[in-house]
Amino acid sequence: MSLFEPVGVTHYLIVGAVMFVIGAICMATKRNALGILMGIELVLNGANINFVAFGSQYLRTETLGLDGQLVALFVIVLAAAEAAVALAIALNFYNNHATIDVDRADELKG
Amino acid sequence: MVPSEWLPRLLGIAVLLPLVAFVVNVLVGPALKKYAAYLSTLMICLAFVCSMTSLVLAWLPYHDPAPAGHGDSEPHAAATSMIIPVADQPQQAHQEIAAYTGYWYRLGQFGSLHLDIGYYIDSLAVCMFCMVTLIASCIHFYSIGYMHDEESEYTDHEVTLSDGSYLTRPGRFPRFFQYLSLFCFSMLGLVISGNIAMTFVFWELVGICSYFLIGFYVERPSASTAANKAFIVNRVGDFGMIIGLMVIWSTLGTFNFGDITKDEPGIFSLVRPAEHQHELIVPAKMVQEAASEKVAEIVQHSESLETALSEIDACTDDWRKEGYGYWLMIVAGLGIFCGCVGKSAQFPLQTWLPDAMEGPTPVSALVHSATMVAAGVFLVGRFFPVFVPEVLLVIAVVGCITLFMAATIAITATDIKRVLAYSTISQLGYMMLALGVGGWMAGMLHLFTHAFFKSLLFMCSGSVIHGVHTNEMTEMGGLRKKMPVTAYTMLIGCLAISGAGIPFLIGFSGYYSKDAILEQVFSFWRYQPENAGWGALFFLVAAGSAGITAFYMFRLWFMTFAGAPRDQERYDHAHESPKVMYIPLIILSIFAVGVAWNFFDVSLTNLLEQARPLGTAASVQGEIVQQWWPDEHLAHQEKIVFPVTLIAFGTAVTGFLLAMLFYGLRVLNAQEVQQQFHMVYRFLLNKWWFDELYDFLWVRPTLLISRLVTGIDRRWIDGLIDGLADCTKRFSQWGDRWVDQGVVDGFANLIARWTFNTGLSLRRVQTGQLRQYVMFIALGTVAIFILISLFWSRTLAG
């Protein structure tokens, strides 16, 4: 495989992997709750790219077909719902603690 | 009305009406107050109407009571002078007894054996129904007056409380009538019952009613003791009766009196089969039962069952001649008679009846003189065809002892009701004696006449007690001016019981029945070919006691009603009873005069003659005792009737004159005679020391044994049980400590501790650091991938 070949599934997979890793690192390092939410979005979208790539008829002859696209759509819908809930939690947390530092949210620790 | 249909219906309704009153009074009696009494009275009156209807409309039109067989035997017997005529069988051979047998409800069927609620209706049962319901109706009315104290709160002057005051309790007016109704139901059921088992059930029911009514004033110790005594003494008799029942059931396989169908013969036709001219024989089943060893031998030696059965049938007659089974007849008869001894207060179980006078007087009149105690005589009469001569002799001896003993005791008693109680025992003894010497008719006739005049006498005495508030005759005297109706109705009763009458012409009811008994005893004596000891004794005792009867009855009347008052205060307070009480007295006195009159075809004698058990009029001889029981019709001959009537009249007049001299005119002084015959007087006053004897023989040993057993129970059995309980307690404490607390609890605690420690050690993982969790997830994922890739192989992938 080389980068100089015509654009194929492999390229998409690389972009998706990079986005996934960036997202994961973002979740692991950020103390700001909003940053973590962004990391989550990156992780989800990195995975989405993989689905879209496997579902595209232009890239492979053996495709998942519309299944891949549909799963991507579901993930987007889920991400939207999850973002709404997570933002609500963040707002409430801010109301109670006047901060959105996740390290401060350790009241239930063992 | 067809009698076979209407008699069971009408009499069945008559039985059930008092039961309705009883049930209603049990359920809502206290709320009904005095209407409870009216209900009971109404029901018994309706029962009387039913009984009279069945007699007049269902019985008489179909059974002409004109005398039938009398004329035939007279010339025949007259020809033989003092020689027993050999039983004139052909006369009876084709007779059919007028009785209706059947059942209302079949209780149980065990193969060919069955048990019914059945009926046996003959003229005796119909007459008993009329008599019982009539007397009971009179007594219900009388009780409304006599018991009126009980309508509101009642103060019992014979019960003193610990603080010295008299007991005051709520009145028991409805309860009294409730018991009376139950009694009427039981008595009527006893009369109509079609088998001996049903008789036994009602027998016990009247017993329990008697117990309730004797113990009506339950707070008085004397009343509750008397109730217990009556109940226990009756159990002794009933024990014998149960033995008799067992013999009958196990050998004959039926309890029915009469034949229900041709295939189900009753006791009567088994014992006196028509093919033997109704002569008393031991039934085949009883013979085979007694000869069971020989039966077994035949069965072993014969080839098939059929031949064995036919051989047994062939041998039965021989065995019967050898005497097999005869003793079973004796046991059955004596057993049944045992029950009658208890119920009819015969020697040696007579002690309960005088004590039973603790009950209210209407109860004494109904239960303890007219009906219930007569049930024993009734049952002997019902079972008469089954009694073999040996049993009859026992009955006669018991009756003879009883009538003499009770008559002598009655001379010295001063309690007005006790005199009457002993007189009842004595008269019951007369009935038993009559039955025992073969006088079925005489015994039954006296049962009826006695019921009327004795209930009359008791109700008169109740009226006196109601007026003067004491039972002691020594505190009475001269009362005829204060209570004339009571005095003169009682005089009629006294004349009736003494057998007063103009010889050979007319008399009170007792004149007929008592003379019939004496004639029967006399003919029993005169017709013995040899060895006439028993007969002479019977006749002398019976005739002598007839004089004593007249003496003590007029002693009672004179002491109560004649002469100067002995207690002025009581005399001044005395008053005639209300109308509701003395009108029944007048009704009963009419019957006491005329119930036995024999001037028309429809008379009590002719009616009862229809119910005479088949074959019992014939002369018989005993197998073990060598006595003759002469034909009952032989007692009606001139040479018997003439001397006996004169003797009876003479003794009665003697008794009356003696009473007149001692108590009427007070010419002779009874006190002097008492001192003259001090020992005899003491002996009689203490009732022949029977109570003391029984106390010494039975009561004390029983109490001693029970005290001993109580000691064993308290000390040993209780100790054992306490020890066992203690052991169990200790064992369970040990079990609790070791098994429950140690093993079971320990196991549960161990698991809990493990769980707790695991949780404690895992809690550190929960740091609360979000970023750390993400790291764990990422690293964990990576680690899982590395592990999978390390151990990946084709085989794992399948």
Q: What is the pLDDT of residues B733-755, one digit of tens each?
A: 999 999 888 899 999 999 999 99
Mean of pLDDT values over B405-417:
90
> Quick one: pLDDT band at residue B70, thresholds 50, 70, 90?
very low
Q: What is the DSSP letter of A50?
A: H
Ramachandran angles phi, psi of B780, nearest 5°: -60, -45
- Please tell me the predicted confidence (pLDDT) of residue A3: 63
How far from B731 is each of B89, B717, B718, B743, B792, CA to CA, in Å? 83, 21, 20, 16, 64
Does residue B619 have a pLDDT over 90?
Answer: no
pLDDT band at B85 (very low <50, low <70, confident <90, very high): very low
pLDDT category at B672 given cuts 50, 70, 90 is confident
Q: Are the beta carbons of B766 and A109 separated by less than 8 Å?
A: yes
Provide the token pair at B303.
């080839």
Distance CA B506, CA B488 (A): 20
Return the closest-CA partner of residue B362 out of B594, B592, B148, B591. Answer: B148
Least confident of B298-302, B553-557, B791-795: B791-795
- What would the two tokens of residue B476 be? 């009475």
Instruction: Please judge whether B778 and A28 are an interchain contact, meaning their C-beta atoms are less than 8 angstroms apart.
Output: yes
Indicate the residue of A24, A105, A107 with minimum beta-carbon distance to B770: A105
Task: For residue B437, report the phi and psi dihedrals to the nearest 5 degrees.
Answer: -95, 15
Query: What's the whole-number average pLDDT of chain B?
Result: 86
The closest alpha carbon to B97, from B70, B72, B122, B62, belongs to B122
Mutate to test the interface with A, among B760, B762, B767, B774 (most CBs of A within 10 A): B774
Residue B71 clears pLDDT 60, i.e. is over it: no
Q: Other CB atoms closer than 10 Å to residue B483's CB: what's the count? A: 24
Which region among A80-94, B341-355, B609-623 has the lowest average model confidence (pLDDT)?
Answer: B609-623
Separation between Cα atoms, residue B384 and residue B388, nearest integer Å: 9
Range of weakest confidence among A2-6, B237-241, B729-733: A2-6
- B99 pLDDT more than 90: no
Contact B771 A30 (CB under 8 A): yes
**Residue whose C-alpha is closest to residue A102's, from A26, A48, A46, A43:** A26
Residue A27 with chain B: CB contacts under 8 Å: 771, 774
Confidence of residue B565 (pLDDT cuts 50, 70, 90): confident
> Does the pLDDT at position B67 exceed 70?
no
- Please name the member of A24, A28, A107 whose beta carbon is closest to the beta carbon of B768: A107
Domains and CATH numbers, chain A: 9-101 (1.10.287.3510)
pLDDT for B95: 60
Residues in B closer than 8 angstroms to A46, CB to CB, are: none
pTM of the model: 0.76
Q: What is the pLDDT of residues B520-564, one digit of tens each?
A: 898 888 887 766 677 888 999 999 999 999 999 999 999 888 888
What's the Cα-to-Cα distance from B140 to each of B39, B208, B302, B323, rounded to whole Å?
10, 19, 67, 52
Instruction: Give yes or no for a contact between B126 and B59, defined as CB atoms under 8 angstroms apart.
Output: yes
What are the chain B neighbours of A105 within 8 Å (beta carbons)? Answer: 768, 770
B-chain residue closest to A29, CA distance:
B771
> Considering only CB atoms, which chain A residues are within 8 Å of B774?
24, 27-28
Q: Say if residue B596's pLDDT is above 90.
A: no
Q: Which of B765, B766, B774 sits opposite A28 (nearest CB)?
A: B774
pLDDT reported for residue B339:
92
**Is B768 in contact with A36 (Cβ distance < 8 A)?**
no
Mind telling me how many Å the CA of A21 is from chain B's nearest CA? 10
pLDDT at B230: 92
Q: Which two tokens stand for residue B492?
A: 């009629």
% of chain B residues with pLDDT over 70:
95
For residue B764, the chain A residue with the least C-alpha distance is: A110
Chain-chain contact of A36 with B770 (C-beta, under 8 angstroms)? yes
pLDDT of B174 > 80? The answer is: yes
Nearest 10 degrees: CA dihedral of B783, B787, B788, B790? Answer: 140
- Say if the Cβ atoms of B771 and A29 lie within 8 Å: yes
Q: What band does B795 get if pLDDT is binned at 50, 70 and 90? A: low
Instruction: Give chain B's contact residues with A (Cβ, < 8 Å).
Output: 762-771, 774-775, 778
Nearest CB partner across the interface for B769, out of A30, A36, A106: A106
pLDDT of B797: 60
- The SS3 of residue B536 is helix
The number of beta carbons lying within 10 Å of the beta carbon of residue B86 is 9
Q: Which residues of B touch A103 (CB under 8 A)?
A: 769-771
HEC secondary structure over B175-191: HHHHHHHHHHHHHHHHH
Instruction: Check pLDDT > 70 for residue B78.
Output: no
Distance from CA of A78 to the nearest CA of B (A): 20
**How much is the average pLDDT of B260-287?**
82
Question: What number is the ipTM of this complex?
Answer: 0.84
Tokens of B418: 């006790």
Q: Which residue has the higher pLDDT, B97 or B517?
A: B517
